[in-house]
Amino acid sequence: MAAMTASEKPRPAGTAGLRHSLLGEDLSFLLARANALSLTAANSALAEHGLKARSFSVLALAVYDTRPTQRELAEFLRLDPSQVVALIDDLEKRHLVERRTDPADRRANVLVATDAGRALFARAQESARAAEADLLAGVTPEDRQRLARILRLLAFPD
Amino acid sequence: MAAMTASEKPRPAGTAGLRHSLLGEDLSFLLARANALSLTAANSALAEHGLKARSFSVLALAVYDTRPTQRELAEFLRLDPSQVVALIDDLEKRHLVERRTDPADRRANVLVATDAGRALFARAQESARAAEADLLAGVTPEDRQRLARILRLLAFPD
DNA sequence: TATTGTTATACTCTATAACTATA
DNA sequence: TATAGTTATAGAGTATAACAATA
């Protein structure tokens, strides 16, 4: 450890100082960092079920009764349609979901969950909920509701 | 368009139905979708300055006076130290930042912005602000403050 | 002609391990 | 012995264009 001379201004140690920098006030950055932490926690919680946030989301939409087409999944999850193919391929190989051709438009595949898919989803959802609860430990119930409401405005701006 | 028989339940068209599914209520998903939109908007706004959200963040922290080490940058931005190397390499080649070896610890590099870096940052920040304002168009000033406060709890949970 | 799903491909991003110089 | 930065590399994620089947 070198001695500090008068000409060397002391540097604030650690990342605590950065938190009060320009970026620490920036909404986009806070959003990105909060999301990164949330995603990491979710992926690690879902790993024991052989899922990630992506495949969990697809499974969730299959379990729900709207029977989305792959195109709708892609738009909703903000993925390219070609990525949805790979995600569904994996889930279908594991017999968690099935592709059914939409009788109203035979070009389109409608996604439905199998019983095994519903069962796995129920278990995975518990893990995801626990991880989310952990992430939200420092946030009051009122603030959680506020956060959800405001994020919905950002996520669906129409 | 095939005629619909009685046995075929009508499928809600479009993604509007998905919004009220299990996922549409999920905070992690809303966070991910809001962040995806924010990131896309930021990257496209910063492109004219030759920056992306990542390099803009690094530049912002260099401009700010805390003179962070690369290690601190990596931790704060949740990047691997090896990724920070590449980001700084690019900015340094463009003479926007400089690496200075920390006199207190000659292993560490401290990042400082050049005058050109500060000038570019000021311009880029304007573009970023405009993009963020656009994203937040539907959110009241009170809700923006609430959002920032709550996101800070999630982003820095200590 | 336009759209859905698919395939192929390239590009970026991310994660890991090893190396060097300093501590 | 441990840490900061660097390099190399492989894996995951992303974006784009072209194709077959259907509208």
B91: which DSSP letter? H
Read off the pLDDT of residues B11-58 as tens digits, 9 standing for 90 and up.
Answer: 777 888 899 888 888 999 999 999 999 999 999 999 999 999 999 999
- In this predicted model, which residue has the larger pLDDT, B96 or B9? B96
Chain centre distance of CA B52: 9
Alpha carbon separation from A86 to A51, A65, A89, B18 (Å, rounded)? 13, 22, 5, 20
Beta strand residue intervals within chain B, DSSP E? 97-101, 109-113
Residues whose C-beta lies under 7 Å from strand D = A 52, 54, 79-80, 82-83, 105-107; B 1-2, 40, 69-71, 74, 81-82, 84-85, 88-89, 99, 105, 107-109
Range with lowest mean pLDDT among A25-29, A64-68, B82-86: A64-68
Q: Which of residues 122-141 of A touch B (CB under 8 A)?
A: 125, 128, 132, 135-139
Helix axes A53-63, B27-46, angle to 10 degrees: 120
**pLDDT exceeds cutoff 90 at B126:** yes
Instruction: Kindly give, in sequence order, each residue whose CB lies less than 8 Å from that of residue A133, ignoring residues fewer than 6 positions away.
Output: none
pLDDT at residue A12, as a whole number: 77
- Supply the DSSP symbol for A5: P
Question: Phi-psi category of B67—alpha, beta or left, where left has phi over 0 and alpha has psi -120 to 50?
Answer: left
pLDDT at B140 over 70: yes
What confidence score (pLDDT) does residue A15 get? 87
Nearest-angstrom CA–CA distance, A58 and A68 = 10
